[in-house]
Amino acid sequence: MAKPVIAIVGRPNVGKSTLFNKLIGERRSIVEDTPGVTRDRIYGETEWRGKKMVLIDTGGIEPKTNSIILKQMRLQAEIAIETADVIIFMCDVRTGLTADDREIAVMLKKSGKPVVPCINKCDSVGDLPFEFYEFYELGFETEPIGVSSIHGSGSGDLLDACLEYLEDWQDTDEEDDSIHVAVIGKPNAGKSSIINRLIGENRLIVSDIAGTTRDAVDTHVENEYGKFTFIDTAGIRRQSKIDDKIEHFSVLRAHMAVERANVCLLMIDASTGITDQDTKIAGIAHEAGKAVIIVVNKWDLIEKDNSTMNEFNNKIRTELAYMPYAPILYISAKTGQRVTTLFERINYVYNQSVTRITTGMLNDVLGDAMIRVQPPSDKGRRLKIYYMTQIGVAPPTFVIFCNNVQLFHFSYQRYIENCLRETFGFSGTPIKLIIRMRGDDAE
């Protein structure tokens, strides 16, 4: 389901990241539960008055600077502005209205996007400071809103103002029975090429569906394999030049696409091998619990011998050790080699991700697993596992009830997961295990 996007922009040190953390509530449990995954905290989610929103935290904008780093931060902010549905423009009441604030305001007005001025560091209780009122000079349609990003005061009014621009927001994915496939990966890995090849070899295009409000175009394909909607993350059309300059932004694009997807195709460029950027983008799909196929493109450019593919497999499995469940497919978008097999793979991993197992079958597997490897013990206290049940799909999610959560070591959880995979497959999809003491209410 697509969610509206709100970007927080402003010059450096006005408190953007502090406000961002306050609004998302520091909900990082999924990240912490995933070993080996690092990600930049430039986006997050919040919910206000029943509506979920994606927040983008940008680097500070320095309108005039020779610093390469600050120029990159400005470019990143410009792309976030282009991506956003609403922009929070943050200023600092203590420093007052500056020339940089005025220049940023001009840039925001040119974007044509709705802007909510947010005046930070209004920390004292009672009347707003006198300096607050000079920000009315910025001349935005929405009046400035005073907040304290440290204390959180004013954040409700701020989100209310954002929601006024999102009243007519509609989810474009409603009543769509196709499998949504996000093609993700670092720039120039061949994301657009693979979509073009898939369309070219299967000329039954139903329609081009306009994306939400972000200039993306979803391509709908119907063929003998089923119905598919491909979400291309190759770039925001009007900002293609900026896109090429900022590899960092591919992480944000991947996040937006993954959110709407059922299956993710992680494109890896065989000619460059797996990179840190690949592992970061892969981590987004893994954290989101999406089915994943690792697609190694440009395989036609590689000089091969009998061990080439095994060596490449080993490198991928080492770098992406947290997602051993994802199948690897070697293709060439240029020549079409093995491209059509993607449709069958997509169907297969999607069906695996929505598989439901009866409680009886689950507990047969659990019982057999405990006979083969006894649950761990600590200082004379042994872990007792009572039963397991499935509570969700995409990803398959299971609750295991036991006598002591602390005794249920991560290694034994991994063992139970491997037993589930041996029996039921779950190829291409992560599995989520929730450990609870008996007596807790299951969700």
Answer yes or no: pTM beyond 0.75: no
Q: How much is the average pLDDT of 95-99?
A: 94
Provide the CATH number for the domain formed by 5-164 in this structure.
3.40.50.300
What are the tens digits of pLDDT across the range 184-243?
888 778 887 888 788 764 333 333 333 332 334 477 888 899 999 888 665 333 334 444
What are the tens digits of pLDDT across the range 380-405?
899 999 999 999 999 999 999 999 99
Per-chain mean pLDDT for the chain: 83
SS (H, E, C) the chain: CCCCEEEEECCCCCCHHHHHHHHHCCCCHHHHCCCCCCCCCCEEEEEECCEEEEEEECCCCCCCCCCHHHHHHHHHHHHHHHHCCEEEEEEECCCCCCHHHHHHHHHHHHHCCCEEEEEECCCCCCCCCHHHHHHHHHCCCCCCEECCCCCCCCHHHHHHHHHHCCCCCCCCCCCCCCEEEEEECCCCCCHHHHHHHHHHHCCCEEEEEECCCCCCEEEEEEECCEEEEEEECCCCHHHHHHHHHCCCHHHHHHHHHHHHCCEEEEEEECCCCCCHHHHHHHHHHHHCCCEEEEEEECHHHCCCCCCHHHHHHHHHHHHCCCCCCCCEEECCCCCCCCCCHHHHHHHHHHHHHCCCCCHHHHHHHHHHHHHHCCCCEECCEECCEEEEEEEECCCCEEEEEECCHHHCCHHHHHHHHHHHHHHHCCCCCCCEEEEEEECECCC
Which of 397 and 245 is assigned the larger pLDDT? 397
The percent of residues above 70 in pLDDT, for the chain, comes to 82
What pLDDT does residue 170 have?
64
Pairing type for strands 291-297 and 226-232 reads unpaired
CA–CA–CA angle 115, 118, 120 (5° rounding): 160
Which of 175 and 322 is assigned the larger pLDDT? 322
End-to-end CA distance of the chain: 21
What are the tens digits of pLDDT across the range 63-84?
777 776 667 667 767 777 887 8
**Residue pointed to by tokens 């999924």:** 30
d(CA 436, CA 432): 13
Phi, psi for 87 (deg, rounded to 5):
-115, 130
Class of domain 359-437: alpha beta
Q: Is the predicted pLDDT of residue 40 greater than 80, yes or no?
A: no
Residue 438 half-sphere exposure, CB side, CA atoms within 13 Å?
A: 9
Assign a CATH topology to domain 179-353: Rossmann fold (3.40.50)
Two tokens at 98?
């500056």
Cis before 395? omega within 30: yes
Q: What residue segments make up the domains of the chain, in order of their start?
A: 5-164, 179-353, 359-437
Fold match flag (179-353 vs 359-437): no
d(CA 67, CA 12): 13
281 touches 297 (CB < 8 A): no
Rounded to 10°, the helix 16-24/155-164 angle is 80
Of 208-222, 270-284, 325-339, 362-376, least confident by mean pLDDT is 208-222
Residue 342 half-sphere exposure, CB side, CA atoms within 13 Å?
A: 33
What are the tens digits of pLDDT across the range 108-152?
999 999 999 999 999 887 788 889 999 999 999 999 999 998 888
d(CA 104, CA 27): 30
Two tokens at 242?
């900026």
The percent of residues above 90 in pLDDT, for the chain, comes to 53
